[in-house]
Amino acid sequence: MRRVLPLVAGALACLAGCGQSNPELIPQSNADAMVQAADAIQTACEAEDRSTVRRQIRLIQREIEGLPSATDAKLRENLAAWAKQIEDGVSDDCRAEETPTPTPTETATVEPTETPTETPTETSTPEPTETATPEPTETATPAPTETAAPTEPPVEPTTTPEVP
């Protein structure tokens, strides 16, 4: 149903626009009411609100029955068939989609068979490659600089005589 509603709403709007110049088509006021009801049906159906969907279908059916007598009979029949199709699909179309629950299946259990134990194969380890270590380079150590001699002579310690 969700695919049918937008198409019909568009067709109703088109037929209504032409109804002003052709009395066999749907008058604008009736078409507007049917388009609004179709939109409400789609919204209610997406919300899984079946009672609102049925109420809107009844509104559309009243609009169809209230069309002027000059409205084309075949057009009336098509609109009534469309409303009936929506009404018949309400229970199926306006409910959450069910995801089937998978049924468990039996899987065959395979018994392990004995396999002979293999002897590990020796693998050779490559010999390490010698890498030359660079010799340290000598750096010149600067010679200590001489400092000038002190200008004052060193003071000699004085001794005091011992008192008996």
Q: Does residue 53 fall inside a structural domain?
A: yes
- Is 8 part of any domain? yes
- Residue 66 belongs to a domain: yes
Going residue by residue through the chain, which has 164 residues, state the pLDDT in tens, using 9 for 90 and above.
444 455 455 555 555 554 457 888 999 999 999 999 999 999 998 898 989 999 999 999 999 999 999 999 999 999 999 999 988 988 888 877 666 667 777 766 667 666 666 676 777 777 777 777 777 777 666 666 666 555 666 666 666 666 66
What range does the domain containing 59 cover?
A: 4-93
Residue 152: inside a domain = no
Indicate the number of domains in the chain. Answer: 1
Please report whether residue 116 resides in a domain: no
- Euclidean distance between CA atoms 33 and 40, whole angstroms: 11
- The rounded radius of gyration (Å) of the Cα atoms in the chain is 52
In a domain, 122, yes or no: no
On whether residue 114 sits in a domain, the answer given is: no
HEC readout, 25-94? CCCHHHHHHHHHHHHHHHHHHHCCCHHHHHHHHHHHHHHHHCCCCCCCHHHHHHHHHHHHHHHHHHHHHC
DSSP per residue over 93-146, as a string? HSSPPPPPPPPP---PPPPPPP-PPPPPPP-PPPPPPP-PPPPPPP-PPPPPPP
What is the model's pLDDT at position 117?
Answer: 66
Q: What is residue 39's predicted lDDT score, i.e. its pLDDT?
A: 93
- Is residue 72 in some structural domain? yes
